[in-house]
Structure 1
Amino acid sequence: MWNVTLLLLLATLRISGAEDVTAKNKTYLEQRQEHEDSKMVGMEEEDVYLSHPHSAALDPDGKFHLSWTVDSNSQEITIEVVAETLGWLALGFSPSEALTDVDLLTAWVDDEGTGHIQDRHGPGDKTPQMDDQQDWRLVRASENDTHTLVVVVRDLNTCDDQDLPLLNTTKRLIYAYGATDPANATSLEYLGADASRGSRYLLLLQPPAPLPTSPEDTRTWSLSQSHSLAKDQRAVHWCNIVRFPHVESQVHYVGFDIQHSETSRAHLHQLTIWECAGDPNSAAYRQERERLMHYASQQGHECYSPNMPLDYNSCNNPVIVWATGAEGAREPTHVGLPMLPKVGEYAFFLVEAHYDNSLMADSIGVQWGLDVYYTEQLREFESASMFVGNTINFAMLIPPGRDHWTATGHCPAGCLLDGMPETGIKVYQVFLKAHALARNIRVRHFRDDKELPPLVQDDYYDSNFHYAMQLQEERTILPSDHITTECTYDSTSRSNTTFSGYGADSELCLAVLSYYPRHSLVECTSSTYHDVLKEVLGIKQFQNEQNLLVTSQSREPMDLRLPKRNTDFRAFVNGLTWSEVDLEALEEQLSRGTHVARCMRRGGVPAQAIKLKTSYPEAAPYAAPELACPRMLGQKIQHAGASSVSAFSLLLLVAPVLLALVWQ
C-alpha cells in the first residue's frame, strides 16, 4: 500500500518539477506571448484590435498611420502601425530633434505571411543595432495589396538601458519604411536610397479624448482667418474679435479641431482664443460690449501694436490654446467651460494668431479654420483656465551663448486665496508655453513644508510641438499652496540677449492650468523684483520706479527706461560685456531672488494681492521614485520561485505520512 502511495507522490513531485523546469526554460518572450494570448480567450481577433483611443498620421501624406492604447493598470502600450508599403517599416522614439539616441522597432511580413519584429537602438544617422533584450511582442501582422499592418505590445518601462521609458512627456516619433522586405534578419536597409523617413512629435500617454457623441449632443461653431505674409515679415501676430452666435441658453465648450489649408501647416504657429469677459461691475461695461460688437465686424489689427484697441486687453481668459503639432482637444466628460457671460447676452472672444515666416517667403496667403464644439447638455462642473509662470515684462532676460539658463515664475498663496474655494481646485490639463530656446519646463507644486510631485514636467520641450497635457490623475491645488514654473533655455545660437515677449525671437515661461470649479483668477505669475534687477546689473535707478509694482492691465511688456540719457533698458543690457559678468550669480538672483506677483481676475481686473512679493518656499524638495521594472520580469522570477516552494512545501507536508507508512 505504502509503495503505491510513495510512487504516486514521487510521480506528483516529478510532474511538478517538470512543470517548474519547463517554466524556467521558457524565454521571457514566450511567457509574454502566453500573457498576450490569454487576453484573446473567447474573443475574435478582429474584435480586439479594431479601435484605439488615439491615432495620428506621422507623415504629411498619411502613408504611415499610428493607433495606440495605453493600459495604465498593466503599464503597457499597444501600438498598431499601418504603412503604405509591402516592405519593411520602422517606428522609433527619440527624446529630442537631435536623434542621437533612438529606440527603434522594425517589422515586416514575409512572402509566407509571417510577421517579423526587431527591437533596435542607436543614433538616427546610422542603421540601429539589435538590442540585447527584445522587448516588443508581436500580436498581429498582415499585409494586403498595398499596405502592411503590425500590432505590437511593450511595457512602458522595460528597464532596458537600450530602450527609452515611455513617459507622459514630449517624444519625437521617427518613422521609416522601404519598398522590399529585408533579405534576412540582419540586412535591413534602414538608410537605403528607397527608404522614406520622417518624424513628428507626439504625447503618447494622454488619457483617451472623448469625441462629440452625436449631432444632437454637440453643435459646431466654425471660425476662420486669412492673412497674407510679406517677405519682410518674419513673424506676425494678428488679432480680431469674434462673436459667439448662441445666446438663447447657457452652453458649455467641450472641444475643438483645427482645419488646415496647404499653407497653414507651415506658417500657422499658434492660436489662442481669449474670452472677452470685461468687468460687469464697471460703469463702462455696456459701452465696452457695444464696442466689441463693432470690432467683431472688422478684420482686426496687429496684436500689441499702437493700432490695437485698448478694449482687446479685457480679453485675458484663455479658452482654447493650439500650437504646431496638435490637431485638436476634448474636455473630460465631467467638465465644460461656460460660453456666455449670462443668458441672452452675446459672448465675445479675441482670436490671436501667430504666423511664422522664418523662411521669408513673399506674398504667402495663409488660411485656417477652427471647429469649436459646444453643448446645451451642461456638464457637472464648470471649468476655467489660469496662467502661471513668469510675468511677461522687462525683468526676464537670457544672456547669449548659454547652454543652460533657468527662469522661474511663482504663483503664491497670496494670489490663490483670491476667490478660490477652501477645498481648492482640481487641475486636469496643463498647456506649456515657451519659444525656441526652451528645453525643459517643470511646474512644481508646494504645500506646507514639502514639495509634492510636479504637475507636469517635460524634459524634452520643443517649441515646434505644443500640446495640452492631460494629467493621468487630477491634482488638487489648495488656496494655501504655492506653484512655481521653471524653464531651462539654451541660448548658444543667439548673439544678443533674449527678453520676455510674444515675438518669435522673445521667450516665455508660462503654463496654462485648466481646472474646476471655475473662479475669477485668470493669471498668477511673477517676475524679478526691480530692486534685485538693479543690484545685479549695477543700475542706480529706473524711470517712474514708483509705478513698477503696479499691475498693468496690458499684456504687452512695459517699456522700461533708465534716467541717464533716457536709455532704453534692453539697449543697456545688450551693451553689457557678458564676459565681465558673473553669470552664475546673475542667474541665481534672477531665478531665486525676490519676485513680485501679478494676480489678475477675469476681465483684466487686478486682484487684491497687488504688489505681493514672493520667492521659493522653504520646503523639502520632491524626490521622484525610481521607475519600476516590468511586472512580467518580476512575475517570471516569482513564478519560478513559487513553483519550487510549492513542491518543497508539499514534500514537507507529506513527509510525516510517508514515514508513518514506511514504519508500518
Structure 2
Amino acid sequence: MLKTNLVILISIVVLLQHTICLQSTPMNHNPPGNEEEETILQHKIHHHDWKRIEIMDPVGLYTLEWWVKSKEIFFRATVNTQGFIGLGFSKKSGLMAGSDLVLLWVDDRTGKPNILDCHGDLTSNSAAPIQDDTQNYNIIDGFQNSTHTQIEFSRSLETCDPHDLPIGSETLKVLWSFGKTDPIHGNLNSHGHNRGVKSLFLLGPLFKRPSPPLLDFFDIKQWDVTVKNVAVENNVNSLYWCKIISAPPLNEKHHIIGYEPLLTKEINTKKPLVHHMILFECSTSSYSNSNSASWDVWVKSNGSVCNSNLVTPRDWDSCITPVAVWSIGSTGQFLPSHVGIPIGGGSHSAKYYMLEVHYDNIYSRKLFDNSGFRIHYTKNLRQNDAGIMISGISASDTLIIPPGQKLYRNVGICAPTCTSALFPKSGIKIISGALHSHSAGRKLKLRHIRDGKELERIIEDDNYDYNYQQVRQLENETTILPGDYIITDCAYETIERKRPTFGGFSMKQEICRSFLTYYPKIDLAGCYSMTPVQEFFATFGVYKFRSLNMTDVENLFLYNGNILDLLPSKVYETDTFNNTVSDVKEKADEYYQQSLLNKLIISDPVEFHDRTFMNHLMILPWSEQLFTRRVEQNIINGKHMTFCKISNESASIPSEIICYPKYTPYIKLSSTCPYHQLLLESSTLTATAISINCVTEKILLVLISLTLISVNFNSEIFLSHII
C-alpha cells in the first residue's frame, strides 16, 4: 500500500507541474513611458522625517519617543523616576524570558547616563536580566531631576547579535518597566513592580490629532457618531448592530481629517466589548423606490441587527462605502496634510451614513453600549479627496482553515477587471492600510503585482497581533496603476483547534481583509474575491447535493439565501439526514449545527452519499501534512471569483472567475547577518516553491482519494469512475 501511494504521489506531482490554467489575457495597462513614470514619481509623497510618541503605562508615567535615520533607530525615554528605566522587545508573549532588553539610568553620584544591553533568561520570566557579551546600544544624552529621568539612546535596526531582536515591519511586544533606584553594579535583580507590555509597530509614521490651538486655527469641528443604548446581553457571544445616522448639515464641501473611537467600557473588565466599527456612506439613490421619509424614520430608531434578511431594510444595502474604520487596539486614524475625505456639499453629497458595530462578548457580560466615532472635519479643503476601500476575501464558508495547523494561508484578490475599469490612468496612491483578521491570524501581508512581477509589499506583518490592529501610515505612498493586482495574504495558526474554522464575521470564524485609505477618491467601495463555490466543493471530491443543483448552492453562498426556501421539507424528515448529522451534533456547537454546510447532503459521488458536507470535512485527515498542504496550494493557486463593488449602485462591473496570477515573487534584500541570512533563504525557498497553476478537478480528486485511503474509503472504486 505504501509503495502504491508513493507512485500515485509522484504522478500527482508530475501532473501538477504540467497542468496550467488557461486564463484570459488580463486587462493590463500599457506600461508608462519614462515621462509618465517620472510624473507619477514626482507626485508620490514620502514621509521620512517622522517622530512617534507613545504613553506606555495607563497613567502617563512612562513616555517613549522614537524615530529612524538610515538604518539606525533612536529612542528617548522620559519616566517619572530617579531610578532605572527598562525597555525590551519580544515577538512572542511579551514576557521577559528570551526578550531583548536594555537598562538605562542616570548615576546619582556623577549625573552621567548609563546603558546596559541585556536579554532575558530563557528558563525564567522572573530571573534577573543577563548582560549581553556585545553592547550594541549607544547613549546620546540623559539627565534626571527631582521627579523624572530622561535618556536618549540608539541602536542599529539589525545588530547581528543573536540576543538583539531585529526591528522590522512586524508588530513587536514592547516591554517597559522602571524602578525607584539605580541598578546595583554586578546585580541586576532589582526589577520594580512598575512594568507592562504594549504591542507596537516601530517603523513608519503615525499622524496624531492636532493640538487644541491648531484645532481652533484650522477651524476643525467634531461630529460624534454613536449607537444609542444598544443592549448586549450576557448570552450573546457575537452581535453586529447597525444604526442609520443623518449627515451634519453642511452646505459646502468639507474634509474629514481624521477620526477617533468613542468606546463604552464594561464596568468590571474596564474594556470595551466592541471588536470593530465601520462608518459607511449610504447611496440613497441606489433603489428607485427609496424615499427620504423612510431614512428619517431609521435615523430616529435605535438601529437593527445588520445583514438580516428578516429585519434589516433592503435600502441599507446601499451603505457600502467606508468613511471610518476602527478595530481592536487602534487609536483611529488622522490623515496627512495633503488629503481629506469629503463630506457635505450640496445635493450630490451623502445625506445618510450607517454605523456598523461588531460586539465580541467573550466574557458573557451585559452592557448598554454607546460606542462610535468622533469625526474631525474642516471647511479648509486639502489638496486631494481621499477614500477608503475594502479588499481581501469575501466572508463565507468557502474560506476554510483546517484544524491543527502551525500555519495555513489563503488569499483575497483585487483583480485587473476592477483596477483597469475604475482606476485613473495615473493610478491611485495608498497612504495607509489596516490588515484585519480574527484570533487565528499570524502573518498578514498586502502584495502588489504588476506585469508579472511582485513589487515591494505594501504592508507586511509577520508577527500579527489580533489585539493591536492599528492603521499603518505608509512611509512611502504606493501607486496602484490600472491592471495591477492587490492581494491580501493571510496565514493562520490553528494548532489548538480540533475542527475546521470557516470564514465569517463572528469570532468563532475567520476573516482576511485590508482597509486601504487612498487618493484620488473613486467610486470604489470594495475589491475582493472568494473561491468559486463549485471549485470549493470539487476540491474535496464533491459534485452534487440532494435536491439542489450547484447553481442553487452557489446562490445560497453569494446572496445569503435560506436553504429551506429551496429544499422540500421531506428532505429534513428522513432518518438518513438525522443519522448523517448526528456525529456533528455530538461534537459541534451551535454554529456548526446551523451552518449551511451541515444542511447540504451529498449525493455525488456515491461513496459520500447521504453524508452532510460538514460531516465530510470533519473526518478528512487534516493531520496529514501532505494532504493539507496540497489543499492549501490548490485553493490559493486555483480559481478565484472576483468582485468589484462600486459605490454608485447604478453602475456595476460583473464578477469574474480568474486564476491566481503568475508572477515573480518579491525577494527581500539579503541580511548581512549570517544566521538571519539562513532564515531569509529558508523563507525564500518556501515562497518560490508555491505553484502558480490552476489545477484540474480530476487531479484534485486523485489527491483527495489518495488521502481518503487512511480513513477507510474504497478509493479504487472512487478512482475508477473519475479517471
Task: Give the drift of 1:345.
Answer: 5.4
Whether contact under 8 Å (2:115, 2:137) holds in the other structure is yes
Q: Name the aligned partner's letter for residue 233 of structure 2.
A: A
Q: Deviations over 1:297-332 (max 9, x none)?
A: 111123334433333322112221112222232111
2: CA distance between counterparts of 1:411 and 1:466? 21
Q: Distance in 1 between matches of 2:663 and 2:57?
A: 46
Q: 1:75 aligns with which of 71, 75, 86?
A: 71
Structure 1 residue 199: Cα displacement: 0.7
Distance (Å, rounded) in 1 between the aligned partners of 2:639 and 2:533: 9
Distance of 1:421 and 1:346 partners within structure 2: 23
Q: Does 1:379 align with 2:382?
A: yes
Q: Match of 2:353, SS?
A: strand
Aligned to 2:396: 393
Residue 588 of structure 1 corresponds to 633
Give 1:165-564 correspondences, 5 Å limit: 165-184=166-185, 186-189=186-189, 192=191, 194-209=192-207, 211-212=209-210, 213-217=214-218, 218-225=220-227, 226-260=229-263, 262-263=265-266, 266-278=271-283, 280=285, 282-284=287-289, 286-287=290-291, 289-305=292-308, 306-340=310-344, 342-343=346-347, 347-361=351-365, 363-368=366-371, 370-541=373-544, 543=548, 545-546=550-551, 552=558, 559=596, 561-562=599-600, 564=602
1:395-424 per-position Cα deviation (integer Å, ceiling 9, x unaligned): 111111111111111111112122221221
Alpha-carbon separation, structure 2, partners of 1:605 and 1:354: 29
Change (3 A) 1:228 1:68: farther
Q: What is the Cα deviation at residue 576 of structure 1?
A: 4.5
Q: Which residue type is aligned with residue 614 of structure 1?
A: I
2:652 maps to 1:613: no
- RMSD value, Cα: 3.0
- The alpha-carbon deviation at position 597 of structure 1 amounts to 0.7
TM-score by length of 1: 0.79
Does the Cα contact within 8 Å between 2:250 and 2:345 map onto a contact in 1? no
What SS is found at the alignment partner of 1:296?
helix
Distance 1:405 1:423 in 2: 36
For 1:559 and 1:521, locate their aligned partners in 2 and report how far apart those are by CA, in whole Å.
30
Quote the Cα distance in structure 2 between the aligned partners of 1:489 and 1:254.
34
Matched, 1:94 2:90: yes
CA distance in structure 2 between the aligned counterparts of 1:488 and 1:511, rounded to whole angstroms: 14
Check 1:476–1:84 CA distance in 2 against 1; reply closer, same or farther (3 A cut): same
What SS does structure 2 have at the residue aligned with 1:214?
A: helix
Q: Deviations over 1:104-125 (max 9, x none)?
A: 1211223223322111223472
Cα distance, 1:75 vs. partner?
A: 3.3
- Aligned partner letter, 1:327: T
Whether contact under 8 Å (1:272, 1:319) holds in the other structure is no
User: SS of the counterpart of 2:421?
Assistant: coil
- Deviation at 1:133? 2.6
* Cross-structure match for 2:142: 141
Give 1 or 2 for the bigger CA radius of gyration: 1
| 1:410–1:614 CA contact under 8 A, matched in 2 | no
Q: Please, which moves more after superposition, 493-502 or 62-71?
A: 62-71
Q: Is the 8 A contact 2:206 2:472 kept in 1?
A: no
Deviation at 1:282, TM superposition (A): 4.5
1:606 Cα deviation after fit: 7.2
1:269 and 1:152, CA in 2 relative to 1: closer, same or farther beyond 3 A? farther
How far is 1:511 from its partner?
Answer: 0.9
Tell me the distance in 1 between the aligned counterparts of 2:385 and 2:553.
35
Say if 1:272 and 1:318, in contact at 8 Å, map to a contact too: no
**CA spacing shift, 1:260–1:76, aligned 2, 3 Å:** farther
Alignment correspondent of 1:150 = 151
Matches of 1:262 and 1:597, distance apart in 2: 39
Secondary structure at 2:515 match in 1: strand
Q: 1:150 to 1:604 in 2, by over 3 A?
A: farther
SS of aligned partner of 2:311: coil
Q: CA deviation at 1:602?
A: 1.0
Letter in 2 for 1:187: N
Identify the range of structure 1 (547-556 vs 527-536) with the bigger mean alpha-carbon deviation: 547-556
Moved more, 238-247 or 328-337: 238-247
Change (3 A) 1:257 1:131: same
Residue identity in the other structure for 2:446 = V
Q: Tell me the residue number matched to 1:44.
A: none
CA distance in structure 1 between the partners assigned to 2:230 and 2:140 by the alignment? 48
Report the CA distance shift for 1:574/1:347 in structure 2 as closer, same or farther (over 3 A): farther
Q: Which amino acid aligns with 1:340?
A: G
Please list the CA deviations of residues 555-612 of structure 1 after superposition, one character each: whole Å capped at 9, or x if unmatched.
99995652559987546534656458922221122222111112211156673232x1
Cα distance in 1 for partners of 2:153, 2:616 equals: 58
Q: Which amino acid aligns with 2:342?
A: P
Q: TM-score, normalised by structure 2?
A: 0.73
8 Å contact kept, 1:119–1:135? yes
Once residues 201 and 220 of structure 1 are traced to their aligned partners in structure 2, the CA distance between those partners, rounded to angstroms, is 29
Cα distance in 2 for residues equivalent to 1:341 and 1:500? 39
1:573 to 598, 609, 617: 617
Task: Show structure 1 runs of 5+ residues with no match.
Answer: 1-50, 630-664
Partner AA of 2:390 in structure 1: F
Separation of aligned partners in 2, 1:573 and 1:469: 37
**CA, structure 1 residues 555+320, in 2 after alignment: closer, same or farther (shift >3 Å)?**
farther
Shift of 1:251: 1.0
Cα distance in 1 between the residues matched to 2:62 and 2:529: 44
> Compared with structure 1, are the counterparts of its residues 160 and 290 closer, same or farther at alpha carbon in structure 2 (3 Å cutoff)?
farther
Q: Is the 8 A contact 1:409 1:526 kept in 2?
A: yes
Alignment partner for residue 104 of structure 1, among 94, 101, 106?
101
Superposed, 1:120-139 pairs within 5 Å as: 120-122=118-120, 123=122, 125=125, 126-139=127-140
Preserved CA contact (<8 Å) 1:418 1:521: no
Instruction: Name 2:642's counterpart in structure 1.
Output: 597
**Alpha carbons 1:248, 1:344 under 8 Å: kept:** no
Shift of 1:521: 2.0
Q: Give the match's secondary structure for 1:215.
A: helix
- The alignment partner of 1:582 has SS state of helix
Identity %: 29
> What's the offset of the Cα at 1:627?
4.4
* DSSP 3-state at the match of 1:359: coil
The one-letter amino acid paired with 1:87 is G
Residues 625 and 445 (structure 1), Cα distance of their counterparts in 2 relative to 1, 3 Å cut:
same
- Would you say the 8 A contact 1:445–1:483 is kept in 2? yes
Q: Deviations over 1:48-85 (max 9, x none)?
A: xxx984222222232222222333xx333332222233
Rounded Cα–Cα distance in structure 1 between residues aligned with 2:358 and 2:144: 42
Aligned equivalent of 1:115: 113
Letter of the aligned partner of 2:551 in structure 1? Q
Q: Tell me how far apart the structure 2 counterparts of residues 605 and 75 of structure 1 sit (CA, whole Å).
A: 50
Call closer, same or farther: CA 1:53–1:219 in 2, change over 3 Å. Answer: farther
Task: In structure 2, give the amino acid aligned to 1:350.
Answer: M
Letter in 2 for 1:502: F
